[in-house]
Amino acid sequence: MNIIVCYKPTPDASDIVVRADGSISVERAEWILSPFDLQAVEAGMRLAEAAGGKVMALSVGPRQISNSKLKKDMLSRGPDELYLVVDDALAGADTAVTARVLTQAVRKMGSFDLILFGEGSADLYFQQVGLQVGELLCIPTLNAISKIDLEDGRLVVERSLEDEIEVLETSMPAALSVTTDIALPRLPSLKEILKASKKPVTEWTLTDIDVQGGTVKAHSEIVAVQAPPHVERKKVVLEGKPAEAVQSLVDALQKEGIL
C-alpha cells in the first residue's frame, strides 16, 4: 500500500511578533511542522504498519520548507521517503495554486493508493487543499475523517458530522482529509531520529514537475494581516442567586451593546 501524506510547514505561532501598528511579523519565526499534519502522518503510518507498504511525505512551498531540521523532523515521524517542491514563487500561494502543484508532484511520484491531508493548515486553515487535490486527480475525496480501516481492499471510514458519525466505504486510490482526533502523533524515538538522516529526500523545482513559475500566481491577495486590538478585561464580578446573576449578566451585556 503506497500512502502519500501532504503537509505544510508554518511559522511557529510562539515566534510571531506583533508590531506597534498591529501588523504581524514572522521574519524571525522558526518554521515547524503543522500539528494538524502530524495527525495525518500518524494515520498513514498506522495504516502502512497494519496493511504493509510505505509512507511518502510531500510538501510544496518556498525555500524555508527545505530546512534540514524540518526534513529530519518529518522523516523521524516514520515516513520512508520525502518529496519536496521548492520554489520561492510558492510563497503565499493560495489553495488553488497549492493544490495544482501538489497534484503535479503526485503524478510525478507515480502510483499510489491513498493521499492523506490534515484537516487544515496551521496558518490559514482554509480546509480546501485536500478536496481540491482529490478533484484534480479525479479520485474519491472525503473530509472530516476520524477513523480509517482497510477491509478487503477497500477503505471503510468514519466521517464526523455535526450530529452524527457517517460510515462510508470507498475504493482506492482516494484522498482523505483527517481530523485531529484520528490518532495521537508518536514522539520520535532516538532510533528513528538517527534513521531519518539516511532516508531518501527528493527535491524538485516547479519546472521539474512541468509547472511554469509564471503560472502559479495566486487568485487571491492578502492585503493585510492585523492582530486584534488588545482590550483590557472589565473585571466585573456578578454575585447573587443564579437567577439574579443571569439577569445582571444580561443587563451588563445590553449596556455594552452586545445584546
Q: Report the percentage of the chain scoring pLDDT > 90.
A: 55
Instruction: Answer yes or no: is 222 within a domain.
Output: no
Same domain membership, residue 247 and residue 179: no
Number of domains in the chain: 2
Same domain membership, residue 102 and residue 76: yes
Same domain membership, residue 247 and residue 202: no
Residue segments in the chain with a per-residue pLDDT below the cut of 70: 213-215
Same domain membership, residue 93 and residue 144: yes
pLDDT for position 233: 81
pLDDT for position 190: 93
Same domain membership, residue 211 and residue 235: no
Same domain membership, residue 170 and residue 124: yes
pLDDT for position 106: 96
pLDDT for position 214: 63
Same domain membership, residue 155 and residue 110: yes
Same domain membership, residue 168 and residue 106: yes
Concatenating the DSSP letter of every residue in the chain gives -EEEEE---EE-GGG-EE-TTSBEE-TTPPEE--HHHHHHHHHHHHHHHHH--EEEEEEEESGGGG-HHHHHHHHTTS-SEEEEEE-GGGTT--HHHHHHHHHHHHHHH---SEEEEESS-SSS----HHHHHHHHHTS-EEEEEEEEEEETTEEEEEEE-SS-EEEEEE-SSEEEEE-TTS-PPPPPPHHHHHHHTTS-EEEE-TGGGT--GGG---SS-----BPPPP---------SSHHHHHHHHHHHHHHTT--
Residue-number span of the structural domain to which 245 is assigned? 230-259
Same domain membership, residue 131 and residue 54: yes
Same domain membership, residue 142 and residue 44: yes
pLDDT for position 213: 66
